[in-house]
Structure 1
């Protein structure tokens, strides 16, 4: 039995190691390409490691366009979206989880069902609204139209259903308003949920390409994803520069994950999919 268990452990380790190598290889290839001089990009057979690593490729790539401004724009948009979207989803989740009102279940089903609507269908109506409000080429136009997400509302509602009603009732007896109950009782008990929503929201908004492409025509309002598209020419692509910027664009998401990773797994596990 012990030999079988040891064999199973070895096979599991080999399988997980192989899966890790497969998952990490694209990132390794990005780094390898980013460090290759132009003369080594199209060698046959391709080299896994650059013969003469060119760290200057990162500086060259940053100077090819105002990427400092692009990174600032993406940071403002993603950070603002995290604050606004997470707060709205938590408020809505609290309402659906802890307040009983007529048509609650039907309304919740309708809201969650919007997850099945492709973004391409609502692009034109959203653009018309943003254009009418004068929000083209503004941070407001980049953030507000997607300030509430059905996915985040669903997770919030499922998570908050496990918070005891007794805590809320006790606060109401003490004369606390609903908003103060939300701030003082609900939010402190939702740290894992907040971590999950913050990571997903930041990732989605940082990587968003289509919506910024639609509503921004001024280059000073470009995000990192739009900026990277400027490195792709009609007849030639600066692959080493493109990979260098792509690697740098991953760093903010990695930092956000490291900040919230303490609560991430717990939040995913306890948000549940119960009815």
Structure 2
């Protein structure tokens, strides 16, 4: 296909994906009375920031936002660290049962999260973590997809490079930290983005384990704006728009490594 045709196709696809985000922005900046009267079209009759002011006045939005940032950041750091170490071990270290361990890790991808939610809750409850952030963080400290991506990436690292590092006196951790990780920037970017996005959008598990509303994250706090008989759609879209900002910032910062990380991990 010629370049103009490809550009037109990409433009149409981009509009399709951007349209829901644009609709969310329009409703967030439309007065509440106009939303219920059908005045929230593709271009609102009157722009206002009342939804945001009412939202911050009625609810502890900044607390929920800081909770979400804290949980997502700590979970991402733990997940990336554990997945990188596990992926390197499965790719480059020789030990008995390595293939079996990899198969067990990959088999967990076929198990729905809802199937293990009850035993996982019982385990967290026995550890005394219910009602604390660690109840949300620790179950996501490692993921099968992250281990698989790291393993596939590290398989492509030449063994000769690692042998040269061993001849220079590097141990396993020193070799991983000084030799392998500098080559894995695209992989780290992909893992950070996936882990942060997954944890930031998590709803059901924080709702179950965080009993104090002051500990809620933004996705859980959105339910406060959904009533049985009335829903504040303007405030709901305002909070949803606020929750999208960190994801857009993280993706904008890491997007240059995103495609390279997936391609070098063997994902097509």
**Which TM-score tier does this pair reach, normalised by the shorter chain?**
over 0.9
Unpaired runs of 5+ residues, structure 1, are none
Number of paired residues? 268
Q: Which of 126, 131, 137 is 2:125 aligned to?
A: 131
1:142 aligns with 2:126: no
Summarize deviations over 1:109-166 as a string: whole Å, max 9, x none: 1111101111111111111111111111112111011211000000000001111111
Unpaired runs of 5+ residues, structure 2, are none
> Residue 208 of structure 1 corresponds to which residue in structure 2?
202
Contact 1:62 1:245 in 2 (8 A): no
TM-score, normalised with respect to structure 2? 0.96
- Could you tell me how far apart the structure 2 residues matched to 1:26 and 1:95 are? 42
TM-score, normalised with respect to structure 1? 0.94
- In the TM superposition, 1:156-171 aligns within 5 A as 156-171=150-165
- Could you tell me how far apart the structure 2 residues matched to 1:83 and 1:64 are? 33
- Could you tell me how far apart the structure 1 residues matched to 2:38 and 2:246 are? 34
Summarize deviations over 1:82-105 as a string: whole Å, max 9, x none: 110000000000001101222211
> Residue 20 of structure 1 corresponds to which residue in structure 2?
14
Contact 1:97 1:160 in 2 (8 A): yes
C-alpha displacement of 1:55: 1.5
- Could you tell me how far apart the structure 2 residues matched to 1:194 and 1:84 are? 12
Contact 1:34 1:240 in 2 (8 A): yes
- In the TM superposition, 1:102-251 aligns within 5 A as 102-251=96-245
Bigger shift: residues 265-274 or 246-255: 265-274
C-alpha displacement of 1:57: 1.5
Contact 1:89 1:152 in 2 (8 A): yes
C-alpha displacement of 1:258: 1.5
Contact 1:38 1:240 in 2 (8 A): yes
> Residue 261 of structure 1 corresponds to which residue in structure 2?
255
